A and B are shown apart, each in its own frame.
Chain A
Amino acid sequence: MSAGSELNWPDRAFPTAAKELLQNTQLRRNVRHATDVIMRKRAHVVNEMSDWEALRESGSAIKRHTLRYLDTYLVQFEQACTAAGGHVHWAADAAEANAIALSLLKAKSATEVIKIKSMTTEEIGLNRSLEAHGIHPVETDLAELINQLGEERPSHIVAPALHKNRHEVRDIFARTMHLDSIGDRPEDLTEVARQYLRAKFLRVPIAISGANFLIAETGGVCVVESEGNGRMCLTLPDTLITIAGIEKVIPRFQDLEVFLQTLPRSATGERMNPYNSIWTGVRQGDGPQEFHVILLDNGRSAILHDHEAAQTLKCIRCGACQNTCPVYRQTGGHAYSSVYAGPIGAILTPQLYQLERGSSLPYASSLCGACYEVCPVKINIPEVLIHLRGQVVAREQATLTGELGPWNLGMKVAAKIFASGDRLALAQHLGRIGQKPFVGKDGFIDHLPLMLGGWTQSRDAEPLPPQSFREWWSKREKKDPAQKGGGH
């Protein structure tokens, strides 16, 4: 299967997709409002923690250690989970994971399956795959239900319908559930969803979940959530299938002590999630009697081999980087053409697809560093972005069109200019001559050629002044040679 073909996402360059989304003023208002609210709540519950930096450091250290010995911990998880009565499956890619899930569902003659919010199943395009085989997935997380009914893609990893406001949600519910007179207050909307979902919970005997953590020591799986739909899916059905990326494993039960503090505070600005579920294999007469875990690689082990970028896999999917990102704030998540949007998406997506997809994403950042500052596992996202930009450039330079492209030529020429002070002085002199046709009547430049035109689309440029600093300095020294070396 070619990279990304399992995805229901168009592979569009970020600047193109962003330009279109910037026209959607309603969406942008929704995104600004939602991210502002979450960031305010987050700041409140993070600032009250005296050991927040120590918790970040611990979370980072646990994840770094786990990734280093990932093979060991995954096998340990498999053994413990199997001993507790679970079945562990290994999937190399999306197609394999979908095929395993499908065969498990077919063995139960399933026509419907209830789902807990899982970005991993979005990543592999599970719903489309199931529907193609006559099995209807029912999203039970409110935001995912909104997206499913509205035929929308997720725009945020924690709040997938963050781009919609309640009036739009009301319209989606009214249209798809054929309800004429529902209100748009939060309680009206949740009541409608509750009625709709309750019937599904009571009827559908198979559930699919993702995982926040896989515990190697016990073989347990942990899911945290806010709505209780997850708890329903984890307890009522006969059969439960969990699909989890291999990076979700942590060594010990005790390690949750760190993550169950940092994750909710970072993700939703809560001190603790309303529902924290941990289950281990099966327990006779209590909960699902058949339990499967599908461990998904799908490009992850390749990321592990890149020493600098491997830290990407420390991510615990809190979404704080999305909420704080000034770029995401403008465009929302769909501009990233991936289930993983925002800063984490800008580094994860291109890596999951070995740069075959999303090669514009490492550039979808001003490198402002806000993401690194809030990351609860201290992923240095700006550093990884630059590292990936280096890979993008290296790939471009390996082709003739890339080598002769304006960016590459421009950068090569600039590098030659910066080889000596004399060359820079000459370039400054030539620049002053070359700019003349572009300087307008008011002494400013309001249009520039080639890629520099991007600058003048919204900004005027001041022309090069008649004298550079180094010229001023030379004249000053000549006028008063004693000035050098003599303080005043």
Chain B
Amino acid sequence: MDVSLFITCYNDTLFPETGKAVVRVLERLGHTIDFPRDQTCCGQMHWNTGYLREAVPIIRHFVEVFRDAEAVCIPSSSCVAMIRDHYPKAALESGDASFIADVDALLPRVWEFSEFLVKKLGVEDVGASYAHRVTYHASCHSLRSLHLGDVPMRLLRNVRGIELADLPSIDRCCGFGGTFAIKNADVSSEMLGEKMASIQETKAEVCTAVDNSCLMHIYGGLHRQRTNVRTAHLAEILASEEARA
């Protein structure tokens, strides 16, 4: 299948390893990756902070870039949620019939990375091996917007050598929330504190998720506290082919 990768602005800029991992996994499964060079951002930061007017050209740009894609694969649950939950409204309010039609036609072809593997490609074992103790953090958007349920866990359970530890209070927000982390830094930090305590309780070496934005926040806190717990996007674990023990 020809898969168009929307890497997302922050993965592109801050977490290129996640993008490389997505490419590795999908190519390993025999698919062809296209990276449209003019892609930028889904508009989530502007939209969710209330800069609705400023978000619209960004949304239009995304739709133009990916209009003809066979499938768009996105390694970020919150960006997919932005597209599914808010693009139809943005298009409707524009009153522009072709914009509305383009969004309607594009949405069914937009997939979050783990969802794409399991629900679209029907793959749960991607041939990965990763010999570490890992806990999975469910991002709010993966749970309550995309309703991914145990999709990421099904992929993780098939990884060779992995030791999975359940995260207590898995459905509670880590406190990132985009600009919330800055506008309400004190409350966000306290929420992070509770999440870090839960993660450390699992004795995991690595905390994973389908969203690097949560992980950037979580790792930022874990590093500040000088813990040894690392974070890794799900794609990086699935791309791993460590020598088997």
Q: Which of B48, B85, B175 contacts A389 (CB 8 A)?
A: B48
| Dominant SS among interface residues on chain A | helix
Known contacts A327-B191, A411-B54, A454-B183; is-contact A468 B12 (Cβ 8 Å) = yes
Interfacial chain A residues near B86, Cβ < 8 Å: 386
Give the residue name and chain of the B residue nearest to A487 (CB): B32
Question: Scoring A residues 122 to 154 as 1 if CB is less than 8 Å from chain B, else 0, what string do you get?
Answer: 000000000000000000000000000000000
With A and B bound together, what is the CA distance between A470 and B35 in angstroms? Answer: 8
Q: Given the interface contacts A363-B180, A386-B48, A464-B13, does A370 sit within 8 Å of B57 by beta carbon? A: no
Contact between chains at B187 and A327 (CB < 8 Å): yes
Residues of A within 8 A of B14 (CB): 462, 464-465
Q: Does A418 contact B (CB under 8 A)?
A: yes
- Given known contacts A458-B224, A459-B192, A487-B30, A22 and B12 CB-to-CB distance under 8 angstroms: no
Is A362 a contact partner of B223 (Cβ separation < 8 A)?
Answer: no
Contact A458–B54 (Cβ < 8 Å): no
Interface segment, one of A49-57, A256-264, A420-428: A420-428
Q: A327-B191, A417-B40 are in contact. Are A15 and B183 (CB under 8 A)?
A: yes
From the candidates A15, A390, A424, A471, name the one contacting B186 in the complex (CB within 8 A): A15
- Complex alpha-carbon distance, A473 and B12, angstroms: 10
Distance between Cα atoms of A22 and B191 in the complex (Å): 11
Contacts of B178 in A (CB 8 A): 366-367
Contact mask for chain B residues 44-55; partner A; CB cutoff 8 A; 1 contact, 0 none: 011111111111
How distant is A335 from chain B, measured CB to nearest CB, in Å? Answer: 8
Q: A366-B175, A386-B47, A460-B220 are in contact. Are A468 and B144 (CB under 8 A)?
A: no
Contact A365 B172 (CB under 8 A): no
Is A424 a contact partner of B57 (Cβ separation < 8 A)? no
Give every chain A residue within 8 A of B119 (Cβ-Cβ). none
A19 touches B186 (CB 8 A): yes
Instruction: Give A357-373 as 1s and 0s: 1 = Cβ < 8 Å from B's Cβ atoms.
Output: 00000111111111011
Instruction: Assess whether B152 is interfacial by the CB under 8 Å rule.
Output: no
- By a CB distance below 8 angstroms, the chain A residues around B177 are 365-368
* Inter-chain contact A414/B46, CB cutoff 8 Å: yes
Instruction: Tell which of A14, A369, A390 touches B184, judged by Cβ atoms closer than 8 Å.
Output: A14
Chain B residues 181 to 204 lying within 8 A of chain A, measured CB to CB, are 181-192
CA gap between A27 and B232 in the complex, in Å: 36
Is B240 part of the contact surface with A, judged by Cβ < 8 Å? no
Q: Which residue of B lies closest to A458 (CB)?
A: B189
Q: Is B34 an interface residue (CB 8 A)?
A: yes
Among the stretches A194-202, A283-291, A444-452, the one at the interface with B is A444-452
Contact B50–A389 (Cβ < 8 Å): yes
Residues of chain A lying within 8 A (CB to CB) of residue B172: 326, 370
Q: Is the interface of B mostly helix, strand, loop or mixed?
A: helix
Least CB distance, A196 to chain B, in whole angstroms? 37
Q: Output the nearest chain A residue to B81 by Cβ-Cβ distance.
A: A369
> CB of B61 within 8 A of chain A?
yes
A172 and B140 CA atoms in complex are apart in Å by: 40
Q: Does B9 contact A (CB under 8 A)?
A: yes
Roughly how many angstroms separate A326 CA and B50 CA in the complex, as a whole number? 21
Assess the B182–A452 pair: CB atoms within 8 A.
Answer: yes
Asked whether B16 is an interface residue with its Cβ less than 8 Å from the other chain, the reply is yes
Q: A421 to chain B: which residues have CB within 8 Å?
A: 36-40
| Contact status A366-B180, CB under 8 Å | yes
- For B181, what are the chain A residues with a Cβ–Cβ distance below 8 Å? 454-455, 459
A309 CB, nearest partner CB in chain B, Å? 13
Query: A368, B16: Cβ atoms under 8 Å?
Result: no
Decide: B12 and A418 in contact? CB cutoff 8 A.
no
| Chain B contact residues, CB within 8 Å of chain A | 7, 9, 11-16, 19-20, 27-28, 30-32, 34-41, 43, 45-55, 57-58, 61, 85-86, 140-141, 143-145, 171-173, 175-192, 216-217, 219-221, 223-224
28 chain-A/chain-B pairs, Cβ below 8 angstroms: A18-B187, A363-B180, A366-B140, A366-B177, A366-B188, A367-B48, A367-B180, A368-B144, A369-B144, A370-B171, A372-B144, A389-B50, A393-B50, A393-B51, A421-B36, A421-B37, A423-B40, A451-B183, A455-B182, A460-B223, A461-B220, A462-B220, A468-B12, A468-B16, A469-B16, A469-B20, A471-B16, A487-B27
